[in-house]
Structure 1
């Protein structure tokens, strides 16, 4: 399935992966700013990138050794409403990093907001979440077991 086909099915997992990549890259880049509050928000943004990875690639819950509590928490974020709420909370936290001064962490905040808005729009339209075949959803995880 190509990227164009993924967006044609209104699947926003690829937008979530883009948000994850930005959280990871800019989280690392901002660790080297010598302000404690920005370093703290950089580490939080890095943690968000791994949470997004587990949310958007469900195959990793079967492959990676994680705790049952973490697995249950990630599995609760399975509907479009829950994904929109999760991305909204992550975006709000990342935007709080601008309290001290504006940094490049605003970019992941914008993309997290955009992803949350797309998921909330899909939820308001009544669309069911469609897992990406490219990212390990739609039966790929069940084939492993």
Structure 2
């Protein structure tokens, strides 16, 4: 199933994943832009981006040999409730950067993280099975139905 098929699927966990990927790009780019003014929150943003990369891109785990213990740890992340909570915490951290230092470009990261949290929360409440976009090495929605 291609990109348009995933959009039509109305699976909010896919939308959350796409918003998470957008958050990665924003966290890295705007962290660079804001590095001279707010070093701490720029570095925190990069750490959050790295965590999201490891969580959202299943291709990263397919390229590396893993142990069964690590695989069970990664299985926790395939829960929409957990992902919604994780993204909400990340969004709160990025909103804190704006509260402490005034309006910064990092507010775009915070909004994108919040939208991802809402998407995963909607998927969890609606009882939708977790799906990972086939465009980045996941199973897509074909295997979920």
Scaled to the shorter chain, the TM-score interval is 0.7 to 0.9
1:70 positional shift: 7.5
User: Which residue pairs with 1:84 in the alignment?
Assistant: 84
Contiguous gaps of at least 5 residues in structure 2:
141-145
TM-score, normalised with respect to structure 2: 0.82
Aligned length: 135
Higher RCO (CA 8 Å, separation ≥ 6 residues): 2
The 8 Å contact of residues 77 and 86 in structure 1, kept in 2 or not, is answered as: no
The one-character-per-residue Cα deviations of 1:43-82 (angstroms, maximum 9, x if unpaired) are 0101111111111111202325899987765442111111
Counting only pairs closer than 5 Å after superposition, residues 30-69 of structure 1 correspond to structure 2 as: 30-33=34-37, 38-64=38-64
Runs (4 or more) in structure 1 with deviation over 4 Å come to: 64-74
**Distance change in 2, residues 1:44/1:72 (3 Å):** farther
1:3 positional shift: 2.8
Contiguous gaps of at least 5 residues in structure 1:
140-145
Give RMSD over aligned pairs: 2.4
- Report the Cα distance in structure 2 between the residues aligned to 1:76 and 1:41, rounded to whole angstroms: 27
